Structure 1
Amino acid sequence: MRGRARFAFGMLAFGYAFLYLPIALVIVYSFNESRLVTVWSGFSLKWWHALFANEAMLEAAWLSLRIALVSATGAALLGLAAGYALVRAPRFPGRTLFGSLVVAPMVMPEVVMGISMLLLFVGSERLFGGPDRGFLTIAIAHTTFSIAFVAIVVQSRLADFDRALEEAAMDLGATPWVTFRTITLPLIAPAVGSGWLLAFTLSLDDLILTQFVAGAQSQTLPMRVYSSVRLGVDPQINVLATIVVTIAACALILSGWLTRRKA
């Protein structure tokens, strides 16, 4: 038994090291004095100062943040509606097809989805004169991609929901809308918040889909980073990666806490 425990612990340690040691090295070298990203020459914050003085990188970060906020909010609203319909709506023709379409972006390759969205926006621009590729098209694409993740989180929460609470409210004279607003929504709010955080993280990190639908004047943070590392890894990338990893980790931790929270 002791040998099995040691083996299991060793495999667990190897797995964690394989996953997180590269991230830890990136964080450590973000405080490196040297311009060489693999040679430690002393502790310094100069690359942090350099990053926050880089206007192009800050503009890309601000654009990504705005897109993530808009797309996460849109995905949360639409995902809430889709998840609620899949659980609570009575059987209707095409329900199975609707459920498959909701989760399709999760299993569809991003390249395929990117090409589809690009053709949609190009066709729309030819027929209706817009929208021009940029902030709006990226936000729409990210919203479409993220709806599935929110819908699944909401659907799993509603599946375990005690409907006796809603029935009691309606027995007391509450309308379906009042029941949803005062009973259902507050109880599933942690799941909606968790889905919003997940959609926000996915949008902030997306590169492949964004490259298809972004215009020439719209460069998000992942696109800026990708174009930078093609010319060589700059120490500022380590700083930026540290910030993004920290934000993503906090969002995922908060998302998990909201999912497990008991209303």
Structure 2
Amino acid sequence: MPALPARPAALSSRPVRWLRRNFVVLAGLATLAYLVLPNVIVTVFSFNKPNGRFNYEWQRFSTDAWTDPCGVADLCGSLSLSLQIAVWATVGATVLGTALAFALARYRFRARSSVSTLIFLPMAMPEVVMAASLATLFLNMGVTFGFWTILIAHITFCLSFVVTAVKARVMSMDPRLEQAAQDLYATPLQTFLRVTLPIAAPGIAAGALLSFALSFDDFIITNFNAGSTVTFPMFVWGSAQRGTPVQINVIGTAMFAIAVLCVLAGQLIGGRRKRS
């Protein structure tokens, strides 16, 4: 039999070569689509008008939930409470975590390695263990569960994430920049405000944003230390047992849109700074 021509074989190998060359990009796009798909479903069902209590099947298009996002009792109250706790937990964890990160990165003292290990324990241990430990501590101290116990628990939980982000940024800083500022007769306060703090700002901002996200959507630690206080994640969990109102999808879609806009704004600002 005559030999097959080599050209069709070369043509058939082109898709294989293209797939090998773009496999990483395709895998990344598939992973991104997998991560974004739940948010797309939440957004779509925020425009649904279900016949019953559960918003699990598409019935008909409606914007009633968007025009009245607080139509469900206690929904906006729990959302406001979660935002307050997240803001104050972010402030507390950022201030304490930044100071601790500078201390661990810049100074040598006794038990430094032990402190570093203890800082990373909340990130390594299961969240339910930390939640139960904090609840036991508050019970032994006779503290009434409520807003302040949730806030203290969230600051404790978010602290290690801030320390990790800020410490990595501080350790990558060039100490000669601060020495140059001191050679130019800058005071320690001026050196910190004009040299050290601007360089460490990206790490501090990353730790603060991570703290806000962790505090806002936390359920396990909040459930153990909330008492009768109801935050937004606890409201969603309780509503899912009786029926899922469409307004929950509206709040979730709005939070997702705000997060995307913040990321895009950060990318635009960073791109303009690089070009300038």
Give the TM-score normalised by the residue count of structure 2. 0.82
Amino acid at match of 1:118: A
Name the CA distance, whole Å, in 1 between partners of 2:32 and 2:202: 29
Name the CA distance, whole Å, in 1 between partners of 2:183 and 2:249: 59
Which residue is equivalent to 2:119? 102
Which residue is equivalent to 2:223? 211
Which residue is equivalent to 2:41? 25
Within the candidate set 242, 249, 255, 1:244 is matched to 255
Amino acid at match of 1:233: T
Q: Considering only aligned residues, what root-mean-square deviation do their CA atoms show, in Å?
A: 2.5
Q: 1:245 deviation in Å?
A: 2.6
Deviations 1:190-211 (A, max 9, x none): 3212211110111000000001
Indicate conservation of the 8 Å contact 2:71/2:247, yes or no. Answer: no
Aligned length: 255
When residues 250 and 116 of structure 1 are mapped into structure 2, their CA distance, relative to the original with a 3 A threshold, is farther
Which residue is equivalent to 1:198? 210
When residues 106 and 248 of structure 1 are mapped into structure 2, their CA distance, relative to the original with a 3 A threshold, is farther
Name the CA distance, whole Å, in 1 between partners of 2:126 and 2:266: 25
Which residue is equivalent to 1:67? 85
Q: 1:257 deviation in Å?
A: 8.3
Name the CA distance, whole Å, in 2 between partners of 1:256 and 1:144: 30
Which residue is equivalent to 1:183? 195
Corresponding position: 1:86 with 2:97: no
Q: 1:66 deviation in Å?
A: 0.6
Name the CA distance, whole Å, in 1 between partners of 2:165 and 2:136: 30
Which residue is equivalent to 2:173? 161
The unaligned stretches of length 5 or more in structure 1 are: none
Amino acid at match of 1:176: P
Indicate conservation of the 8 Å contact 1:32/1:41, yes or no. Answer: yes
When residues 254 and 74 of structure 1 are mapped into structure 2, their CA distance, relative to the original with a 3 A threshold, is farther
Which residue is equivalent to 1:51? 69
Deviations 1:234-253 (A, max 9, x none): 32222222123334445566
Partner secondary structure for residue 241 of structure 1:
helix
When residues 259 and 79 of structure 1 are mapped into structure 2, their CA distance, relative to the original with a 3 A threshold, is farther
Amino acid at match of 2:102: Y
The unaligned stretches of length 5 or more in structure 2 are: 1-16
Amino acid at match of 2:35: L
Q: 1:52 deviation in Å?
A: 2.0
Q: 1:38 deviation in Å?
A: 4.0
Indicate conservation of the 8 Å contact 2:55/2:243, yes or no. Answer: no
Which residue is equivalent to 1:3? 19
Q: Identity across aligned pairs (percent)?
A: 40
Partner secondary structure for residue 236 of structure 1:
helix
Amino acid at match of 2:85: I
Name the CA distance, whole Å, in 2 between partners of 1:194 and 1:10: 28
Indicate conservation of the 8 Å contact 1:82/1:102, yes or no. Answer: no
Q: 1:110 deviation in Å?
A: 0.8
Corresponding position: 1:226 with 2:237: yes
Which residue is equivalent to 1:76? 94
Amino acid at match of 1:109: P
Name the CA distance, whole Å, in 1 between partners of 2:201 and 2:265: 13
